[in-house]
A and B are shown apart, each in its own frame.
Chain A
Amino acid sequence: MQKTYYDPADLKKFGKISEWNQELGDKFFDYYSKVFEEGALSAREKSLIALAVAHTEQCPYCIDAYTKDGLQRGITKEEMMEALHVGAAIKSGATLVHGVQMMNKVNKLEM
């Protein structure tokens, strides 16, 4: 049994999840590949969104995958970092906007 929760080599085995439920696995991977096709958004734009979400989800597999995907698409590191800041801004904004709830509660409880 491995001693760590994450192993980079496991990313290559992602497809194996279908082995224990072929139907749902197939549906997931069909959906997944369809999502990333060129559409109203370019595949390049989708790759940058995926990279930002990979970080907010803190998924090491996704970070590896979409960093490499971005390089393959010729995306620059400046573009990658800007995408991350969008994710980080939403994450911190989502934290801070709850401050309004805190303030409401304080205002309600305090005399």
Chain B
Amino acid sequence: MTLKSLQKRESDLANSNRQLDILSNGIFKNGELPTFKDKIAETNQFPLTPKKLEILQINLGYMCNQVCEHCHVDAGPDRKEIMTRETMLQCLEVIKNTKAHTLDLTGGAPEMNPDFKWFVHEASKAGIKDFIVRSNLTIIRANKKYYDLPDFFKKHNVHVISSMPHYTRGKTDKQRGSGVFDKSIKALQELNERGYGMPGSDLRLDLVYNPSGAFLPGDQAAMEKDFKKALKEDFDIDFHNLFAITNLPIARFLDYLIASENYEDYMHSLVEAYNPAAVSNVMCTNTISISWDGWLYDCDFNQMLDLKVASKVQHISEYNEDLLNDRTIKISQHCYGCTAGSGSSCQGSVA
């Protein structure tokens, strides 16, 4: 049976307010666990404020060829929200003037946006130095029209960051769907053939590991060693770095936690693993997240919870970097996901 998005299923949890209710009540209301606000206040880190802006993360749409069980975006083929060229033009105006050095394109599968290539081309011309595309790998093999993506990435010197939950077929397919592992391996081999991920190559290829269940990621360096050894021995695949990312308790992962009766234990694990040293480097301190329809958020997770930036400026059409950098960051209990253990961000560990 193909999994559908929470939105398509008309699930209670498709509503972000319902998710925020769950995260604010229960064990966080009755005092069993401290709220994130109280926890960071213990080390005088409340309110959380931005540092120097480094990354513009643009979500090109929630449409995806995969329906992963843990997806915090609730993405899938049945999601039709994608960024229009008009909003992209507004983004390009911002890109021309921003102090951020990195453009990070995500989704859904960002490549499924019909204007994806045009946008990458225009953004390249605008002079972004570090260009990231978060590619799910299988999109490269999903349809003939995507077969040229590895060459396209190479042409624009795109830094490719791809999800790969495990180096075994079983664990990968369980989380991401049947057949995903074999397609991902093929896509990685194609990227390697273009020079991506090879030792010493400037064509950056990093992988993202996130746990396939209600547990936290292990040590990033140890996991990277295991991934490198297994992928090299079994499939002759090279890549640069592995980013270990914690699953945040929102959208489909929250739905899974509740349905499997793991929610409370998982939140206990996150709070127990809280690391105050990770707080100062969480990604919301150097990133602005832009949604498919141009709204501004502190991070992609806040975007999915519809927690818009606490600023006079809330939309790309009225973007003002100085005003935005003056804001405080919106938090809730999902933020514990970014401060557990060595911390977690779109770039992996932070502490």
> Which one of A12, A38, A72, A76 contacts B218 once the chains associate, using CB atoms below 8 Å?
A72
> Which one of B168, B213, B219, B222 contacts A76 once the chains associate, using CB atoms below 8 Å?
B168
- The closest CB in chain B to the CB of A38 belongs to B222
Q: Is the beta-carbon distance between A12 and B268 smaller than 8 angstroms?
A: yes
Which residues on B sit within 8 Å (CB–CB) of A44? Answer: 222, 226
- The closest CB in chain B to the CB of A69 belongs to B218
A59 to B209, CA, bound (A): 31
Q: Is B171 an interface residue (CB 8 A)?
A: yes
Chain A: minimal CB distance from B221 (Å): 10
Q: Is B215 an interface residue (CB 8 A)?
A: yes
Q: Mark A76-104, 1 if CB is under 8 A from B, else 0.
A: 10000000000000000000000000000
Which residues on B sit within 8 Å (CB–CB) of A74? Answer: 166-167, 209, 218, 223, 226-227
Q: Could you tell me which residues of chain B, from 209 to 260, have a CB within 8 Å of some CB in chain A?
A: 209, 211, 213, 215-219, 222-223, 226-227
Prevailing SS type, chain A contact patch: helix
Which residues on B sit within 8 Å (CB–CB) of A73? Answer: 218-219, 222-223
A76 to B167, CA, bound (A): 10
A68 to B215, CA, bound (A): 7
Chain B: minimal CB distance from A65 (Å): 11
Q: Is the beta-carbon distance between A43 and B211 smaller than 8 angstroms?
A: no
Q: Mark A20-55, 1 if CB is under 8 A from B, else 0.
A: 000000000000000000100011100000000000
Which residues on A sit within 8 Å (CB–CB) of B217? Answer: 72
Which residues on A sit within 8 Å (CB–CB) of B218? Answer: 72-74
Q: Which of A44, A68, A74 has the most CB of B within 10 A?
A: A74
Q: Is A17 an interface residue (CB 8 A)?
A: no
Which residues on A sit within 8 Å (CB–CB) of B222? Answer: 38, 42-44, 73
Chain A: minimal CB distance from B216 (Å): 6
Q: A43-B222, A44-B222 are in contact. Are A76 and B215 (CB under 8 A)?
A: no
The count of residues in chain B whose C-beta lies closer than 8 Å to any C-beta of chain A is: 19
Q: Is B199 an interface residue (CB 8 A)?
A: no
Which residues on A sit within 8 Å (CB–CB) of B211? Answer: 71-72
Q: Is the beta-carbon distance between B168 and A72 smaller than 8 angstroms?
A: no
Chain A: minimal CB distance from B38 (Å): 19
- The closest CB in chain A to the CB of B272 belongs to A12
Q: Is B114 an interface residue (CB 8 A)?
A: no
A71 to B174, CA, bound (A): 14
Q: Is B34 an interface residue (CB 8 A)?
A: no
Which residues on A sit within 8 Å (CB–CB) of B272? Answer: 12
A5 to B211, CA, bound (A): 32
Q: Is the beta-carbon distance between B219 and A43 smaller than 8 angstroms?
A: yes
Which residues on A sit within 8 Å (CB–CB) of B227? Answer: 74
A72 to B226, CA, bound (A): 13
Q: Is B47 an interface residue (CB 8 A)?
A: no
A30 to B216, CA, bound (A): 23
Q: Is B179 an interface residue (CB 8 A)?
A: no
Q: Is B170 an interface residue (CB 8 A)?
A: yes
Q: Could you tell me which residues of chain B, from 175 to 221, have a CB within 8 Å of some CB in chain A?
A: 209, 211, 213, 215-219
- The closest CB in chain B to the CB of A44 belongs to B222
Q: Is the beta-carbon distance between A71 and B268 smaller than 8 angstroms?
A: no
A73 to B225, CA, bound (A): 11
Which residues on A sit within 8 Å (CB–CB) of B166? Answer: 74, 76
A97 to B252, CA, bound (A): 52
Binding site for B on A (CB under 8 A): 12, 38, 42-44, 68, 71-74, 76
* Closest A-B pairs by Cβ, 8 of them: A73-B218, A72-B218, A71-B215, A72-B215, A68-B215, A74-B223, A72-B216, A74-B226
7 cross-chain CB contacts under 8 A = A12-B272, A44-B226, A71-B213, A72-B211, A73-B218, A74-B167, A76-B168
